Amino acid sequence: MKLLIAVVQDKDANRLVDALGEENFKTTKLATTGGFLKEGNTTLMIGCEDDYVDDALSIIKDNCSHREQMVAPISPMGGNADSYIPKPVKVEVGGATVFILPIESFFQF
């Protein structure tokens, strides 16, 4: 058995949970915050048998799209903020980061 921990953008979370549910994957949804953009994201914990890991990864890949987003950069630390003019930059967001962990045992009470 494996535990998949998938960190996805909030915009993709509901669609992904629905798609996983249609294929009978059980998920636990956690609200989390990313460190880079300081925006909300969603972490899903998905338990599945070893034979179904590739199926789950395929569903995640199909439902979590990459997109570009304009972001205002953070002002420099310790510098002169008077001369700093923040100019929005494009960054790629979305997709998914997935960790796959082996599960030694599983109990449900």
Average pLDDT over residues 55-68: 88
Confidence of residue 44 (pLDDT cuts 50, 70, 90): very high
pLDDT recorded at residue 84: 57
**Range 19-43 burial, b when 16+ CB lie within 10 A, else e:** bbeeeebebeeeeeeeeeeeeebbb
User: Rounded to whole angstroms, what are the CA distances from 44 to 27, 30, 60, 87?
Assistant: 6, 6, 10, 34
Looking at residue 87, its pLDDT comes to 76
Please determine, for residue 85, whether its predicted confidence score (pLDDT) is greater than 90: no
Residue in this structure with the two tokens 């996805």, named with its chain if needed: 8
Q: What is the mean pLDDT of residues 62-76?
A: 72
- Answer for the pair 42, 31: CB distance below 8 angstroms, yes or no: yes
Name the β-bridge partners of 50: none
Nearest to 60 by CA among 7, 3, 1, 2: 7
The pTM of this model reads 0.74
Is CATH 3.40.50.720 what the domain over 2-74+84-102 is classified as, yes or no?
A: no
* Annotated domain spans of the chain: 2-74+84-102
